Chains A and B, each alone.
Chain A
Amino acid sequence: MNGIQINDVTKTFGDTLALNQVSLTFEPHKIHGLLGRNGAGKSTLLNIITNRLFADNGTVTIDGLSGTENDHAQGMIYLMSEKNLYPESMTCNEAFKWTKQFFKDFDLDYALNLARQFKLDPKKKIQSLSTGYNSIFKIITALSVNTPYVLFDEPVLGLDANHREMFYRLLIEKYSNNPFTAIISTHLIEEIANLLEYVIIIKNGEILVNESCEALLSKGYSVTGTINQVDTFVKDKEVIGEDVLGGLKTATVIGSINKSTLPDGIEIANLDLQKLFIKLTNEE
């Protein structure tokens, strides 16, 4: 498996440059986080990969096959998109049955089991579902489809905390039992930070960061202690975020640390991905 390769992809909508010569590879059997602010170009990229939009320039290959207008290549990929592309008069049950016919590895029993767990009535029409249950319906389909590549565009839109927790748990379970390539585009970075193996940050249609989560998070650290202690410690360091709670302060710092020089009373933790994201995407 070669993964999904994006070479020099550019896409414009009128005068707006949505993607600017984007090149990257989504490695197989990894969980990728596609992060970016609103309008950064995340959904456009996912839509180009899945042949819903055409790139103005550049190519997309899926396991070495062109992804454009290629039924075979597109049969290896499933996009759970923010926009609902299912006929509104269709019931969830019908949608599952049709998906089974389009994707031979779709696990209908698993889908119905998930529907029970999420308390989704499969007899309901898709158009009658609330925003949250619409997301749940699409999550169930995406988790049951068993294609080598599954793309999630804002999967937890409208979900309550319990259902979000359930989705993350099911995703990990599914991935552990049968590894596949997942690409998750979301704004809830804090919640998925622990799931991600690779992080791609996209800003104004260009790739800002494309590296493993581990390598990215090793670029900095968080320190916690009393306000005075933390202020003294970070005085000559690059701080990208600070939180104060009561007498305690947490600062997020970019750079490496020599643990032997750490003063007493200061605790050190991993870099906060969300803070790093905010710092990177706020920079002009």
Chain B
Amino acid sequence: MAMVSASLLMVPSLSHAQQIETGGKLLLTRGISTFEGSGGGGLTPWALITGNETNRGIGGSAHYTHVMLSDYQLRTYGAAAGFYDRFELSYTRQDFDTQDIGTALGLGEGYTFSVDVVGAKVRLAGNAVLDQDTWMPQVALGVQYKKSNRGDLVAALGATNDEGVDVYVSATKLILSQSLLVNATLRYTKAHQTGILGFGDKASLQPEFSVGYLVTKRLLVGAEYRFKPNKLAFAKEDDWMDIFAAYAINPYATVTLAYGMVGDVATIANQKGLYATVQLGF
């Protein structure tokens, strides 16, 4: 009897279920895709939810990022889905290619470290775009599960684990009267070089910042700074930074060009170079 009444109660709620919509966000307000797959800037996640959907729909995005550092190449590609402008799920594959330097490091030419990153994010409060009469930002909580495919090697380099979970809180605010976008993220992480060189025992809290200026409704230019831990014995790890320009061609395609400076990576000093991302979304 209880089951019958329960199922009877279900029927009206199902028949009244709203139609799921796609689209509806303003240009650029789904964010771009970080090299870790989460909606955000390039280096750091933002509190914005990926996809063009609003509270009544679903959306998605896919990206390819190519970073040409002085001696390394980083390629990342993945897809993400946004649900009701509330939840975000993402998967990204990172290939960190040692190219010629692989030989010098004794790994062999073109030796590649790959990391799979599965991300989830939930918007907790605020509307970064529309709440223009208050300082309250959009706030989101996210996790990134990362797994390296080079467990033996990263262990030999000093990592205690080939997988780890980052947890972060992001606060993002568009200050429309000044045409400015600001973001602050605080990350709890055990990763060495974001996980490319594995994970350690000791977690630390690392802040990350983005600031952007809206030149037009299609063009955002800005800079990012990501503090990083430095806990590997064999090689120094530096903070990362970039300057970027993101251009929304239309509601579906955004291209980003950046110049990144990532410092020392696996004993090779002063790595920097061009960073390009193509993001398609709906």
Q: Do A and B bind each other?
A: no
* A interface list, Cβ under 8 A from B: none
